[in-house]
Amino acid sequence: MKNIAVILSGCGVYDGSEIQEAVITLLAIAQQGARYRCFAPNIAQHHVINHLTGEVSEGESRNVLAEAARIARGDVEDLTLLSEKEFDAIIFVGGFGAAKNLSSFALDNDNYNVNEQVVNAAKMFANVDKPSGFMCIAPALLPMIYPVGVKGTIGKDSATASLITAQGLTHIDCEVTDIVVDDTYKIVTTPAYMLAESIDEAAVGINKLVKHVLALCK
């Protein structure tokens, strides 16, 4: 049975992991006969968003690992404990947490960086030729992990894509229901809620991503 590491970045689309993307991913892995374990960095969130109003909750702070535990029903581990030897592949869920907590993409645009723990975790898999999946805005992490020219998609947002291509990504426009595969590095990406207008739309691409990542596992 294949074992997949799923990387979360908090809980909530505006300041953490996109919850629907995360749940669809975990469900797809289980339904396709594989297992998963969830991980998140034990760091402070960039900020906390009131998801009812969309505004920053001033004076409030939350921990990415503790928030990710909400999605994983408490079963989430510190990212520093991740060992690629225990897994066949790694999948990064989207949401603004990927662009605010796992990286500074939402804040620094074309001058962004990626959290060192995140880079180390992803490179563990890349260095031993194990497949990976990135959805929504998470492909912004790719240029900091793989060589210049790595292929991926965040959908059809040319302005956002140009910021990532400036760092070395070869961006390929993609429909919400489809995936982009970089066969050289065994990477699968899908737009998810970068384009999706409903949960069922997001699910089509995410299900394809999970299926293809599993197919790439040795």
Helix axes 64-71, 19-31, angle to 10 degrees: 50
User: pLDDT under 50 in the chain at which residues?
Assistant: none
Could you tell me the domains of the chain? Answer: 3-216 (3.40.50.880)
The pLDDT assigned to 218 comes to 83
The pLDDT assigned to 33 comes to 97
Tokens of 82: 């991740």
Runs of H (alpha helix) within 127-192:
158-165
Runs of H (alpha helix) within the chain:
19-31, 64-71, 96-100, 105-108, 116-126, 158-165, 199-216
The pLDDT assigned to 110 comes to 84
The pLDDT assigned to 26 comes to 98
Residue 61 and residue 48 in contact, taking contact as beta carbons nearer than 8 Å = yes
Q: What is the DSSP letter of 13?
A: T
Catalytic residues: 136
